[in-house]
Amino acid sequence: MAKTFWVLGCLFGLLGVAAGAFGAHGLRARLEPDLLAVFETGARYQMYHALALLATGWAVERWSPGAATAAGWAFAAGIVIFSGSLYVLALTGVRWLGAVTPVGGVALLAGWGLLAWAALRS
């Protein structure tokens, strides 16, 4: 599992840098400032949690693998749902997608809680 989370962290990090550059250079003239801010929030949280996946890969080998593994999957799901919904909302302007974003946020919070639990149990 450690390698899986390292690979996912690296891929999400790569895509986060690409999204950030796309937002800064490709979307600045195309999106309203409020939607550009939404897009940038998605990229920022994707990068934070790509790094969390790298930490999770490390933790899986050293701490409680059950809780650390669950944390990794929660981070991955949270990135897809949270950042993904913000990207789609910003690019399409479909506001109801904002209702999906908190589900991803809860997954990210769960990831942090599970990672803390893994640390405490180690």
Indicate if the pLDDT at residue 107 is higher than 80.
Answer: yes
**Tokens 């593994």, residue?**
69
SS3 31: coil
- Return the pLDDT at 28: 87
Q: Shortest CA distance to 81 belongs to which of 115, 116, 110, 113?
A: 110
Instruction: Report the top-level CATH class of 2-121.
Output: mainly alpha
**Tokens 């991803």, residue?**
104
**Tokens 């701490």, residue?**
63
CA 79, distance to chain mean position in Å, is 3
- Return the pLDDT at 60: 95
**Whole-Å CA distances, 23 to 9, 46, 52, 84:** 20, 13, 22, 14
pLDDT tens digits, 45-90: 999 999 999 999 999 999 878 999 999 999 999 999 999 999 999 9
- Return the pLDDT at 64: 74
Give pTM, 2 decimals: 0.94
pLDDT band at 95 (very low <50, low <70, confident <90, very high): confident
First-to-last C-alpha distance (Å) of the chain: 17
Give the residue-averaged pLDDT of 85-108.
93
pLDDT tens digits, 14-36: 999 999 999 999 998 898 999 99
